[in-house]
Amino acid sequence: MTDVVAKNSKETVDQQTFVDGSTRTVTVLDSAVIGLGEYQPGQK
């Protein structure tokens, strides 16, 4: 069984900010890669 991994989302591998102000963040854990997208209101 794998262990539980906790990591601060502020310690990211890659963060990109786009012209519309939205951001995409990538965090690498021991066994997975987690992505988070934050979009501005009204964006699709």
Local structure of residue 34 (DSSP, 8 states):
E
User: Whole-model pTM?
Assistant: 0.57
Please report the pLDDT score of residue 23 as a whole number. 86
**Cα angle for residues 19, 20, 25 (degrees, 5° grid):** 80
Residue pLDDT, tens place only, 1-44: 567 777 776 666 788 888 888 888 888 877 788 888 888 887 56
Please report the pLDDT score of residue 12 as a whole number. 64
Please report the pLDDT score of residue 32 as a whole number. 81
Q: Which tokens in the block code for residue 6?
A: 């906790």
Please report the pLDDT score of residue 28 as a whole number. 80
Please report the pLDDT score of residue 14 as a whole number. 80
